Amino acid sequence: MSRRYLITGGTSGIGGAVASHLTAAGHDVLVTGTSAASVDAALAAGIARLGAIADVADVAAVDAAFAQATTAFGGLDGVFANAGIDGEGKPAQDLDPAFFRRVLEVNTVGALIVAQAAYRTLERPGAIVINASVNAMRPEAHFADYNASKSAALALAKTLALEWSAEGLSIIGLCPGYFPSKMTNEWLTDPVTSRELLALIPAARFGRPEEISALVEFLLGPQASFLTGATITIDGGRNI
């Protein structure tokens, strides 16, 4: 059965892989990106039916993307709040507070803004999957800004599940490990860093795009509604 989805940060990486998978499965998908170039490239590649330029920290831009999707699709059934940015990769004592605020603004406040738009827009029953990170459960040194933002995003998902589940919305916190993306490319392609990371993963490999794509499709679907409030890890055992 065809469904209607909006994916933030859906022009590349995990978001792009999920969008491509959902579109290939026959669903209607709108992806957001932060530039016209990234959105145009995603649409040219056929990963989604529609695209919108939106910084998730911008309420007006997010609302406009939701309005575009609901008008074109006749409604929305689910949202993958996926957009995020990385931390500075520095010891905590060297972090720039201004950049720390920006990480929180995108990864945490942005997730709230997207979830609020979804609350106002989604058909019931509906689903919201918030992309946190395994770092929300097992922090990584030199990423205090990213760790904090993703821990807060996971707590947000659980709180929204407490408040909204009885209204027919399923809210799930997704905690991926390392998957190929623009954000992780620097780490996964560096021989030394990749070996260090693989040593921390019981499965001894990084994730594959098709694995997380299939999982998100299930979590956004009607058969996963009783999973509301759950934390779903897909990290090769990194959280252990």
Would you name the residues annotated as active-site residues?
146
Query: Could you tell me the end-to-end alpha-carbon distance of the chain, in angstroms, rounded to an integer?
Result: 36
Phi, psi of 216 (to 5 degrees): -65, -40
CA atoms of 112 and 155, how far apart (whole Å) = 11
Alpha helices per DSSP H over the chain:
13-24, 36-44, 59-73, 97-104, 110-121, 144-164, 185-188, 191-198, 209-220
Q: Are strands 126-131 and 78-81 parallel, antiparallel or unpaired?
A: parallel
Q: Which of 48, 50, 42 shows the shortest CA–CA distance to 67? A: 50
Which is it for the CA torsion 25, 74, 224, 200, positive or negative? positive
* Gap between the Cα atoms of 75 and 107, Å rounded: 25
Indicate the length of the chain as a whole number. Answer: 240
Q: What is the DSSP string of 117-158?
A: HHHHH--SSEEEEEE--GGGTS--TT-HHHHHHHHHHHHHHH
